[in-house]
Amino acid sequence: MRPLYFLPFLLWGFYAPAQYLQPAPPDKIYGDLFIDVQMQKIFPDGKTFVDCIPKRKPADILYDYGMQKGPKFDLKKFVEENFEIPQPVTANYKSDTSEDVVTHIKKLWTVLKRNPDKEIEGSSLLALPNAYIVPGGRFREVYYWDSYFTMLGLKESGEIKIIRSMVSNFAFLIDTYGHIPNGNRTYYLGRSQPPFFSCMVELLAGIQGDSIYQLYLPEMEKEYQFWMDGADKLKPGEAFRRVVRLKNGDLLNRYWDDALVPRQESWREDYLTTEKSGRNKVEMYKHLRAAAESGIDFSTRWFADNKSILSIETTDILPVDLNSLMYHMEWTLAKAKQINGDDAGAKLFREKAAQRSTLIKKYFWNNTLSFFTDYQFKTQTQLSLVSPAGLYPFCFINDNPDYFSLLGKKVSAVVEETLLKPGGFVTTRYESGQQWDAPNGWAPLEWMMIWGLDRCGQKNLATLAAKRWIQLNIRVYKHTGKLMEKYDVVDINKEAGGGEYAGQDGFAMTNGVLLKLISIYGMP
CA 316 to chain centre: 19
Please identify which of the residues 297, 313, 437, 488 carries the catalytic annotation. Answer: 297
Q: Are strands 424-425 and 113-114 parallel, antiparallel or unpaired?
A: unpaired
Q: How far apart are CA 274 and CA 280, in angstroms?
A: 8
Q: How far apart are CA 364 and CA 375, in angstroms?
A: 6
Are the beta carbons of 129 and 163 closer than 8 angstroms?
A: no
Quick one: residue 92, left, alpha or beta (phi over 0 = left, psi -120 to 50 = alpha)? alpha
Amino acid 221 reads E
Are the beta carbons of 22 and 189 closer than 8 angstroms?
A: yes
Query: Which positions ≥6 away from 238 have C-beta within 8 Å?
Result: 244, 245
Does the annotation mark 488 as catalytic?
Answer: no
CA 409 to chain centre: 29
H/E/C letters for each residue in 117-179? CCCCCCCCECCCCCCEECCECCECCCEHHHHHHHHHHHHHCCCHHHHHHHHHHHHHHHHHHCC
- Mapping DSSP to helix (H, G, I), strand (E, B) and coil, where does residue 183 land? strand
- At residue 138, what are phi and psi to the nearest 5 degrees? -75, -10
Closest CA to 324 of 368, 361, 351, 295: 361
Does the annotation mark 485 as catalytic?
Answer: yes
Closest CA to 460 of 420, 429, 433: 420
Query: Which positions ≥6 away from 173 have C-beta within 8 Å?
Result: 126, 128, 179, 180, 181, 184
Please identify which of the residues 146, 257, 485, 505 carries the catalytic annotation. Answer: 485
Query: Which positions ≥6 away from 372 have C-beta within 8 Å?
Result: 320, 360, 364, 365, 366, 389, 390, 391, 392, 393, 411
> Catalytic residues, which ones?
297, 485
